[in-house]
Structure 1
Amino acid sequence: MNVRLLRWFVTALIVGTLAACATREPAAPESPAAAAPGKLAPLKGPMVVPGTLAQSKSRWVPVDWSELPGWSEDSPHEAWNAWLRNCERPAPAFAPLCEQVRQLSIAGDEAQRGWMLEHLQPYRIESLEGNPEGMLTGYYEPFLEASRQRGNGFEVPLYQPPAGLAQRQPWYTRQQIEQQPEVQAQLAGRAIAWVRDPVQALVLHIQGSGRLNLLEADGSTRVVRLAFAGTNGQPYRSVGRWLLDRGLVRDATWPGISAWVAANPQRVQEMLWSNPRYVFFREEPLDDLDASFGPRGAQGVALTPGRSIAVDRLSIPYGTPVWLASTGPATQLARLVMAQDTGSAIVGAVRADFFTGWDDAAADLAGRLKQGLRLWALWPK
């Protein structure tokens, strides 16, 4: 296994072990309370700051803008494209503001910041017990070399959903899908494309979407997106955790994991099968505009690198502008972001997954992000 594949492997393990973003499954229909976030109820009880609001999993405490770290240093125009995407499917509380948001798209930082000061109120997001501390991880969109046809080293399929998947849940495990002829027969003709290495395929499964530099049958190449289309309904298991639990590596760092992979290629398949979840995809074209954004998140709008986050929708409604502050070994962040996605492991009041993009730097940052977090919701006055 060469150095590039080792890089993919380590990214899969780190992202799977630390971020545990499993797959970006579409969220279930929101409850009436979540679907109408403009009707947040005041919290009741002792020791509550007047004006505190409640969500199912969090409490929002009104604060002054001066509490937001780095508020005056961020460039809000860098986040405005993400806000414009919000306005494609706005939350009810924000729909009346979208006309002004669009008008401000060509304004400068000071005008945009001044508008937010006038129209929005910051709320510190806390757990129901009053804890404002949480965790930030990262995710990204892998970019893989692929072929429309099997052969010449492209041996690992990426499938669209099989017929009847929804009627039989859970479906077969990853090992059964790859080993049993009767299961493979149900997937005959369902391969969208083929990639060179099963570890790269696992990275795509963990992230839930990706881009392919696709070699067509006529010898031409084009870039397409694979979007999440479903799973086999099996539980997600981190392959990184599998290694750690067996004492095969001491931690999920580059030296330890790469050394283990290089020394134990015969056990890589065993390790991959330890995660029974399998993801199916659908192919989407990429034009120049789409290529500037990420895949569609759970809100139904395209994600913006560095300005979109996945959240627990029972803590933060989709479409909410959020001030994010995080300092740790991977990076330091203090910026305006938009809550536009979710993930099966993104659970809790102060919990976010930061969309980093799709290049090598994005993969590296997503794999290293696991650090403290504070969040402030910016809600209409």
Structure 2
Amino acid sequence: MGEGRESASVMHVEPTGLGSLSGRGLETSMDEESELLWGVGAVAERVGVATPTLRTWERRYGIGPSRRTDGGHRRYNETDIRRVQLMNRIVSSGVPAQSAARVALSLDSGGLVAALASDEPLYGAPGQVIATPAETVGRIIDTGATLDVVGLTTLLAETIRDWGVLGAWVNVLAPALQDAAFAVADHKLGEEAERVIRERLEVELRSVARSYAPRYLGGRPLVLASVDAEAESLAVLALEAALAGRGVAVLSLGFEVPASALLGLLDRVTPAAVYLWASHVPTAALVDAVDASAGDTPVLVGGPGWVGLDTGLLQVELVAAPDLLAVADRLLGLMQETPVARR
């Protein structure tokens, strides 16, 4: 495969299930990224919240430092600061502090990062008591179970509005899809209800991607494609909507992409990067198509379908980017690094 030419540079993004793009399991990695500890005065200056307010949040709601120095003084780490930042953003939108604290405390480090990635989350009307992600997941499952299409559409739209695409996907939408699948397996939810939830979410993500009116940056597009059927590829739609929210349009080859479509695209344009999702093992022809992009296009692959392949032939470069936010950032970085070029 690809004999006689330079092998493709493939970045393997894993782990790769729905949960992998939900950002779960990032608590340890985020906490270990920096052990620099901050005092309350330094946090107040950094976040823009008065020191007395920080002390009140710690005393009343438990939003405060989680580390201690050798001398016994309590200090904030980066995750604690992110929680304060989210608390401040929610409270500033008019939500009661107790409700804001419930939400901020319900998120792990990866969830906090994703929630803060949105520039302007609204978190509902001023004075509104907002639900935690787990509560919203439960509402999505319950509403889907009644086949209330209008109610489900409204709920999904409000969730994305309140959290932004990344925050919604990480903290609510991907967990809801997982819970729905588990409920079907346990015979607690009908397959028809799960399909309605997926279909409404697909419609909403497409609507979000269109509403941002995104643009190409740097003259070279990002390409997204999925080996899987539509129902297994909502993570790719979420990625497209998240990129659109950052002003970046993509060339999408859609679902169940054949090798001929990928090769045809690469013959006409040189993308800044390609992201190819596969829950199932790709065909040999498609793997050859990935190899055919050698020397021109960075290729990121995601999904458990790539795990069992002998990717040594492709000189796989492992990239520690298991969550949707990290994948989006990596693609944007590649887009900004590459010069304008066409075949």
TM class, shorter-length = under 0.3
Give the TM-score taking structure 2 as reference length. Answer: 0.25
Which protein has the bigger helix share?
2
Give the TM-score taking structure 1 as reference length. Answer: 0.24
Higher relative contact order (CA 8 A, sep 6+): 1
